[in-house]
Chains A and B, each alone.
Chain A
Amino acid sequence: MAFPHRLDAPELPDFSMLKRLARDQLIYLLEQLPGKKDLFIEADLMSPLDRIANVSILKQHEVDKLYKVENKPAVSSSEQLCFLVRPRIKNMRYVASLVNADKLAGRTRKYKVIFSPQKFHACEMVLEEEGVYGDVSCDEWAFSLLPLDVDLLSMELPEFFRDYFLEGDQRWINTVAQALHLLSTLYGPFPNCYGIGRCAKMSYELWRTLEEEEDGETKGRRPEIGHIFLLDRDVDFVTALCSQVVYEGLVDDTFRIKCGSVDFGPEVTSSDRSLKVLLNAEDKVFNEIRNEHFSNVFGFLSQKARNLQAQYDRRRGMDIKQMKNFVSQELKGLKQEHRLLSVHIGACESIMKKKTKQDFQELIKTEHALLEGFNIRESTSYIEEHIDRQVSPIESLRLMCLLSITENGLIPKDYRSLKTQYLQSYGPEHLLTFSNLRRAGLLTEQAPGDTLTAVESKVSKLVTDKAAGKITDAFSSLAKRSNFRAISKKLNLIPRVDGEYDLKVPRDMAYVFSGAYVPLSCRVIEQVLERRSWQGLDEVLRLLNCSELAFTDMTKEDKASSESLRLILVVFLGGCTFSEISALRFLGREKASMMLFCCPPVAS
């Protein structure tokens, strides 16, 4: 296989500690409401909860019945109600309506709301406004880091991307800073910190503040992880918009990996039941193919299947004693492998079926053309046709965004016609979607640059200095160009290939996109780690609109072991894709180091 495990790879920190911590905290919180109680759980907290606890643990702590938080009246007859929710306004209204309904009925119960990962003042305000503030007690379950795999942590903040990158709301920055703080208390301080992006910078600053407040906390600890890299998603939207072709990425694009597990439907299991499968390093078959380009996966699986067959066949010439040994020692392992193989073969088939149905080849071809910047007209009409045929609305948007970012915005004529057709195909209310994408800078119209600067300088003259700065800020965010072509050239993102790119023996990170493109985010990380600074990357930073937003911080203390210096934690603020994870795993292997990841779930 292309990715043999390197013997000299550094040992990974024990992330399972985070799980135990979260579980202990939850138990502690449940015990704050002694006696039998019913627990209402928010739907999107269920999967994370499943990863760290189970019902019997809840039962042990006197949780009687479990309910999902839904927008309907509670049928619970318990005297104590506990709500495990995200800090969302609608949840507060829900709780308030339950409490107020009880009050009307003259019923008194105890209510407790546990916010995960933290409570917001706006939530308390709603409780106060609804007149239930004192009736409900509020607690926080600071469960912000969920280990999904040996090298992958997830922050599980589904709103992070939208709140920050669209609305400009910084309320999760504290959560991020707290999570980083927790990591440094558990695994020692990080001797080398790098970051790029506004959110990264703010998170870093707040994190530093927390560390200073609790000075001494991490002092004297030996660092376990040598480097940490914070990266804002908006530094590189392009990579997140490309179709994934490594196995894990394809599984995610096709079936959606949630919290490290996936639901394979009947079409995969070839039975009438769905199967929930945990996807991590413990699945030996998966672990060998997860980072592989899809074209290699079939060959690998069929080889595996043949080997398995051969091992089964061995039992033919066996005598009774050998057979007994075989059954007691090997059969179980073989059966397990058999089960895993059939699941992944089923998944592959299903992926193939879906992808051939939707002209995957043509889609990929269009994406590559957009990345390389040729045949723009052809790509545009491909997108148009995609829309006209009412193929997946998300896919159409994804392509339009990719076109927009790689081209610094759409030509006004194209923008208008694509938008009109989109609204006709998928519904007029998507007018709002377009407005959102424009605000997030994902889908824009080319604006004549000069006009903007002229307006800007005019306005600037009219207002005071301080305000002028702010206005320039506002304008520059509007005028923020993606400069993808120039960056791509500067960082050599489109590898020059003589002949075929051998996907079996990848040469660089571009293999995760069939050799056509090195993920921008990963390239930036690679360059900085090589230099141990941003030195010499000024031009790149300027093009990324991040001249003021890149930082490095190195501690002089030389306590870090060489082992720890080979461990790098990369934090994607706003989510990352499995393609990026695979690319960085590749980079880690090349450099005999190990990448760890930490990210809110993939945003799209």
Chain B
Amino acid sequence: MNRTKGDEEEYWNSSKFKAFTFDDEDDELSQLKESKRAVNSLRDFVDDDDDDDLERVSWSGEPVGSISWSIKETAGNSGSNQEGREQLKSRNSFSSYAQLPKPTSTYSLSSFFRGRTRPGSFQSLSDALSDTPAKSYAPELGRPKGEYRDYSNDWSPSDTVRRLRKGKACSLERFRSLQDKLQLLEEAVSMHDGNVITAVLIFLKRTLSKEILFRELEVRQVALRHLIHFLKEIGDQKLLLDLFRFLDRTEELALSHYREHLNIQDPEKRKEFLKTCIGLPFSAEDSAHIQDHYTLLERQIIIEANDRHLESAGQTEIFRKHPRKASILNMPLVTTLFYSCFYHYTEAEGTFSSPVNLKKTFKIPDKQYVLTALAARAKLRAWHDVDALFTTKNWLGYTKKRAPIGFHRVVEILHKNSAPVQTCRDLKDRQQLLAYRSKVDKGSAEEEKIDAILNSSQIRWKN
């Protein structure tokens, strides 16, 4: 029991059992294999370092996991070998694990989940499963995990990867040559488990210079994607950007930098940050979007400061009648336009908050503009503005009714805001009025009024 790690290694290295591989199918051999594992497990006392599907037997011959076993384990733990631990401390492993709390109770529930060691009378799930031998359905948690995880230096890459897959700690320190490291990585990739690939990458990241790491990953796309995702998750922005730079993925680099603005709450700081994004290597199209984003926020900051002031001063009618529900900061452009049509409709084009200025600066299409302005003015029940929206003068000075959006949409918006029938009449739009009629309640006053207007001979309908 008090054999030190060095001793044990020597013992096994000289042992004839060494020749057996893990793949041995033969029953007797596998028993020997079991013994070896049992011994191995003793070195760290309680670590369940191996396949738990196979029943393990401890030195004393007790099945590992049984109650008597676990009592012994707990007892044995108190006198754990100091020497071995010291030896390991100096090793500075990737997986240098401190000691975990040990269960204070020796009564292990794990027996509930084991087919074979189950006490006969338990009415539990395992009864239903009794024909599956010795399968552990419980997570292997009963046994405290020991501190000597990296005692074994002889795991092959595939064994190592397998242990990692099972979530077990495993030292990767022995993979020192680049070739070994890459072999380990390939092994992980060929097993498909992303968690293991990432574990190996964490190790590679720590033990390789980034130039070498990047170079090797460039031709290993699967692993590369895992590294990128890992860096995103832990928020190692610096290394991520270096990686994109190395790979010459300029757009991803730019987007990744831009993404950071989402974490900046202060509007001024956010604006300044966006400014730094403008020169980044986006596609031509995205560059324009970034520029617009910056300009929009810049505008919003000005408008917000101004309007907050106006509102608190209480002198402006529109703000008194319709107090603002939220700040305009960080709202989309269309919302900003709506806001501006609502509060600043009549302002001269020169002011930042005027709708026309917004339309010009951001090249808002007519359609979008009319739709938004209509919604805003209808909400305020400013029917004259609504009317004017559809009035255009041609070069001879004749006025015409025109709308760049479908009239059914216009009607819908007007109806939602209970526009008076008069507005539609003023629009001289017979089709629209007919559509409106279908939306009002049958037999209502509105319907009568619409009928009266429709039948009126004094109106010259434009359609």
Chain A residues close to B by CB (< 8 Å): 17, 20-21, 24-25, 27-29, 31-32, 34, 89, 110, 118-122, 124-126, 128, 133-135, 137, 139-142, 163, 167-174, 185-186, 202-203, 205-206, 209, 213-214, 216-218, 220-221, 385, 388-390, 416, 419-421, 423-429, 431-432, 435, 466-467, 470, 473-474
Contacts and interface: CB of A to CB of B under 8 A. Distances in A.
B110 A28 contact: yes
8 closest A-B pairs by CB:
A134-B98, A170-B194, A171-B194, A168-B225, A121-B199, A428-B293, A202-B192, A167-B229
A21 B129 CA distance: 11
Nearest to A30: B109
A428 B95 CA distance: 43
21 contacts: A20-B125, A24-B113, A28-B112, A28-B113, A29-B139, A124-B169, A128-B96, A133-B98, A139-B141, A140-B139, A167-B232, A168-B226, A170-B194, A171-B195, A174-B193, A205-B192, A206-B191, A213-B51, A221-B132, A426-B332, A431-B255
B209 interface: no
B334 interface: yes
Interface of B: 51, 53, 95-101, 103-105, 109-110, 112-113, 124-125, 128-129, 131-133, 135, 137-139, 141-142, 162, 164-165, 167, 169, 191-199, 202, 219-222, 225-226, 228-230, 232-235, 251, 255, 258-259, 261-262, 285-286, 289-290, 292-293, 296, 330-335, 362, 364-365, 367-368, 371, 405-406, 409
B139 A139 contact: yes
A175 B60 CA distance: 36
Interface of chain B: mostly helix, strand, loop or mixed: helix
B135 A214 contact: yes
Contacts of B331: 427
Contacts of A185: 129, 132, 135
Contacts of B129: 185-186
A15 B362 CA distance: 58
A589 B419 CA distance: 54
Contacts of A134: 97-100
A171 B193 contact: yes
A428 B332 CA distance: 7
A428 B367 contact: no
Contact of A169 (B99, B100, B165, B194): B194
B171 to A, nearest CB: 13
Contacts of A140: 139, 141, 167
Contact of A435 (B139, B225, B255, B364): B255
B289 A428 contact: yes
Contacts of B261: 429
A163 B229 contact: yes
A217 B135 contact: yes
Contacts of A169: 194, 198, 225-226, 229
A170 B192 contact: yes
A427 B332 contact: yes
B368 A424 contact: yes
Contacts of A167: 225, 228-229, 232
Given A122-B198, A424-B333, 6 more contacts: A25-B138, A121-B195, A171-B194, A206-B191, A388-B367, A470-B221
Contacts of B333: 423-425, 428
Given A89-B233, A170-B222, A431-B290, A32 B142 contact: yes
B334 A125 contact: no
Nearest to B103: A32
Nearest to A416: B285
Contacts of B290: 428, 431
A32 B364 contact: no
A28 B222 contact: no
B405 to A, nearest CB: 8
B332 A424 contact: yes
Nearest to B262: A429
Contact of A168 (B138, B222, B255, B334): B222
A470 B142 CA distance: 45
Contacts of B225: 167-169
A113 to B, nearest CB: 11
B182 to A, nearest CB: 12
A530 B91 CA distance: 59
Given A34-B103, A119-B167, A174 B195 contact: yes
Contacts of A24: 112-113, 124-125, 137-138
B221 A122 contact: no
Contact of A467 (B219, B334, B362): B219
Contacts of A389: 371, 409
A358 B331 CA distance: 23
Contacts of B132: 185, 217-218, 221
Contacts of B193: 170-171, 173-174, 206
Given A121-B164, A167-B225, A432-B259, A209 B234 contact: no
A470 to B, nearest CB: 6
A141 B139 CA distance: 7
A406 to B, nearest CB: 23
A206 B197 CA distance: 14
A421 B261 CA distance: 21
Contacts of A31: 105, 109
Contacts of B364: 424
A142 B368 contact: no
Given A167-B229, A170-B194, A470-B220, A137 B112 contact: no
Contacts of B255: 431-432, 435
A54 B40 CA distance: 41
Given A29-B139, A388-B367, A467-B219, A423 B194 contact: no
Contacts of B110: 28
A474 B221 contact: yes
B133 A216 contact: yes
A432 B258 contact: yes
B332 A122 contact: no
Given A25-B137, A31-B109, A388-B367, A214 B53 contact: yes
A13 to B, nearest CB: 12
Interface centre among B125, B220, B409 (most CB of A within 10 A): B125
A110 B53 CA distance: 30
Contacts of B96: 128
Contacts of A121: 164, 167, 195-196, 198-199, 202
B284 to A, nearest CB: 10
Nearest to B110: A28
B131 A221 contact: yes
A140 B137 CA distance: 12
Given A122-B230, A213-B51, A435-B255, A428 B296 contact: yes
A319 B128 CA distance: 51
B124 to A, nearest CB: 7
B71 to A, nearest CB: 16
Nearest to B188: A170
Contact of A431 (B100, B112, B226, B286): B286
A128 B362 CA distance: 49
Contacts of A120: 195, 198
With most chain A CB atoms within 10 A of its CB, the pick from B141, B198, B262 is B141
Contacts of A142: 139
Contacts of A429: 261-262, 293
A423 B51 CA distance: 53
Contacts of A21: 125, 137
Contacts of A205: 192
Nearest to B285: A416
B10 to A, nearest CB: 30
Contacts of A218: 132
A141 B100 CA distance: 18
Contacts of A137: 100-101
Contacts of A217: 53, 132-133, 135
A272 B394 CA distance: 56
Given A121-B202, A428-B289, A428-B333, A17 B191 contact: no
